[in-house]
Amino acid sequence: MNIIQTPIADLLVIEPKVWKDNRGYFYESYNAKLLGDAGVDVAFVQDNQSFSQKGTLRGLHAQKAPFAQGKLVRVIQGRVLDVAVDIRKSSPTYGQHFSIELSGENHKQLWVPPGFLHGFLTLEDNTIFTYKVSNYYDKDAEIGAMWNDADLNINWSEEIALTDLLLSDKDQVLPAFKNLESPF
């Protein structure tokens, strides 16, 4: 397992070692010791999974304490553009984002610690996205920012027209990033 530090502190890309042969492939998708050695000492309490069609955008979301969540995210089938935004007020990268393509083919994962907004855009139909979380969901702890906020300037996709995105009602009315009062 190769663990790579991104340009934003504590946000990590995990590249598992994949063994392929004529039967298919095998890889270790989670290893507590290796992640712990990389500074991710976390107990996961829940696994979540979503199934989405091409053009579905989910985000940008986080939860505030005492329900703040770290997320270990990956794609089982399909492809996504995965985005994490640093909302740690004391961080030198506050307001900056990191994006990466995660797919069922590249097997990459992203560790998104508490203190980040998170979202993703599905780039293929029938995409299965899964994530381990370090805390339980609580509706009253939800915070977020608008996916297309000009201050964040996220380049979501060259492949999908932004006018064709599928968004939840909740994600269409999230506040501007400058109006987000980060609890981190």
- Identify the CA nearest to 63 among candidates 183, 165, 149: 183
Decide if 7 is inside a domain: yes
- Pair of tokens at residue 64: 């505030």
Kindly state the average pLDDT of the residues 142-162: 94
Apex 146 CA angle, 152 and 127, nearest 5: 95
Share of the chain above pLDDT 70, in %: 100
In the predicted model, what is the mean pLDDT of residues 87-113? 98
Residue-level pLDDT at 17: 96
pLDDT category at 82 given cuts 50, 70, 90 is very high
Contact indicator for 123, 78 with CB cutoff of 8 Å: yes
47 within a domain of the structure (yes/no): yes
Does residue 133 lie in a domain region? yes
CA 132/CA 150 separation, integer angstroms = 30
Flag whether 66 is in a domain: yes
**Is 98 within the bounds of a domain?**
yes
Q: Is 61 among the residues known to form the active site?
A: yes
Whole-number Å distance between alpha carbons of 153 and 166:
19
At 162, is the pLDDT very low, low, confident or very high (cuts 50, 70, 90)? confident
Q: What is the dihedral of CA 86, 42, 14, 89, to 10 degrees?
A: 10
Structure confidence at residue 105 as a pLDDT band (50, 70, 90)? very high
Whether residue 131 lies in the annotated active site? yes
**How confident is the model at residue 158, as a pLDDT?**
85
* Domain membership flag for residue 174: yes
- Beta strands 2-5 and 79-86 are unpaired
Q: Is the dihedral of CA 98, 133, 44, 47 positive or negative?
A: negative
Q: Read off the DSSP letter of residue 164.
A: G
- CA 102/CA 106 separation, integer angstroms: 7
Which residue among 30, 61, 107, 118 is the active-site one? 61
Count how many domains the chain has.
1
- 88 domain-assigned: yes
Cβ 6 vs Cβ 109: under 8 Å: no
Q: Does any domain span residue 128?
A: yes
C-alpha 117/C-alpha 176 separation (Å) is 13
**CATH number, domain at 135?**
2.60.120.10
Of the residues 97, 107, 118, 131, only one is catalytic, namely 131
User: What is the per-residue pLDDT across 20-78, written as a single tens digit (0 to 9) for each?
Assistant: 999 999 999 999 999 999 999 999 999 999 999 999 999 999 999 999 999 999 999 99
Q: Which domain holds residue 129?
A: 2-21+43-179
Alpha-carbon separation of residue 139 from 20, 113, 132 (angstroms): 41, 19, 18
